[in-house]
Amino acid sequence: MASRILIVDDEENIRFTFESFLKDEGYAVKTASNLQDGKKLLADEEFDLVFLDILLGRDSGLEILREIKERGITSPVVMITGAPEVETAAEAVRYGAFDYIPKPVMQENLLRVTRMALDHKQLIEENETFRMRLEALFRCAREGIFITDKELQVAELNEAAKEIFGCDESIVGKRLDSLDSDGAYSTLVKFSDMIKARFEGEIYRLEGVSPAGERQYLSLTASPLKTEDGQDYGYVLVVRNESE
């Protein structure tokens, strides 16, 4: 399916030139000559990319840019400009403009910016899809999962972890080794000692106490989170209740 592009500019020759160049490349193009028509098209249809003139007659294209951000529209916006003032440029950046394209518009530059903007949108969408899938796995896993920083301070935990240890979100921000060493947290405190000793990636089975005060047997695994240059910046802890 062809990428959909909206052009909002009050100059007819700009609209015609952009539309011709982009349609020749197989893009689906809509144009608007003023602020109101641009807003209406954005309200009625979805676009993958928006080219937006900073000056639309007596109106400012930044009004549309602000609306795009406020509505959470993820389409990149490329501002069309002659010579923007520093204040205008700063405001456009603040509201998330992807890039500028100067007048007069050269075909090669237009197509280059178009490809870059659409590639950027695709990357954002792929990252969001990946994040949502990971979040679903994290949320639905039967094993308890803790994510900590390198100081063993809890950053996130899933529902299964809350059930195993009888805790809630209040544990976020606390170090594992600062938790109460009695009761349901005792196993986590023991496990934090193993992590400090660098026993990573192995499975350890420990005996602990459930939130109900009953004996439970847990298997625990730790895997380091590393930067590209191999530096630790946290851990993923996976806990399985083997008492069930």
CATH number at residue 55: 3.40.50.2300
Domain count along the chain = 2
Both 113 and 36 in a single domain?
yes
Examine the domain organization and report whether 128 and 188 are in the same domain: no
168 shares a domain with 121 = no
Q: Tell me the per-residue pLDDT of 45-56, one tens digit each, with 9 for 90 and over.
A: 999 999 999 889
Average pLDDT over residues 167-179: 86
Give 137's contacts (C-beta < 8 A, 6+ positions apart). Answer: none
The residue from 136, 171, 203 where one domain ends is: 136
Does residue 68 share a domain with residue 145? no
pLDDT digits 0-9 by tens, 91-146: 777 778 898 888 888 999 999 999 999 999 999 999 989 889 888 888 888 899 99
Which pLDDT score is estimated for 88?
67
Q: Tell me which of 94, 120, 136 is where a domain ends.
A: 136
Q: Looking at the structure, do residues 211 and 96 belong to the same domain, yes or no?
A: no
Residue 26: DSSP 8-state:
T
- Average pLDDT across the chain, whole number: 86
Residues 27 and 118 occupy one common structural domain? yes
Structural domain containing residue 149: 141-241
Encoding tokens for residue 218? 């847990």
Instruction: Mark whether 74 and 190 lie in a shared domain.
Output: no
Are 110 and 206 found together in one domain? Answer: no
Question: Do 156 and 66 share a domain, yes or no?
Answer: no
Residue partners of 37: CB distance under 8 A and separation at least 6: 8
How far, in Å, are 15, 50, 82 from residue 22 at the CA level?
11, 12, 20
The pLDDT of residue 22 is: 98
Return d(Cα 55, Cα 30) in angstroms, integer.
19
The pair of three-digit structure tokens given for residue 80, joined into one six-digit string: 């069309």
Q: Render pLDDT for 222-234 as a digit per residue (tens, 0 to 9).
A: 888 888 888 888 8
Instruction: Report the CATH number at residue 182.
Output: 3.30.450.20
Query: Is the same domain home to 188 and 110?
Result: no
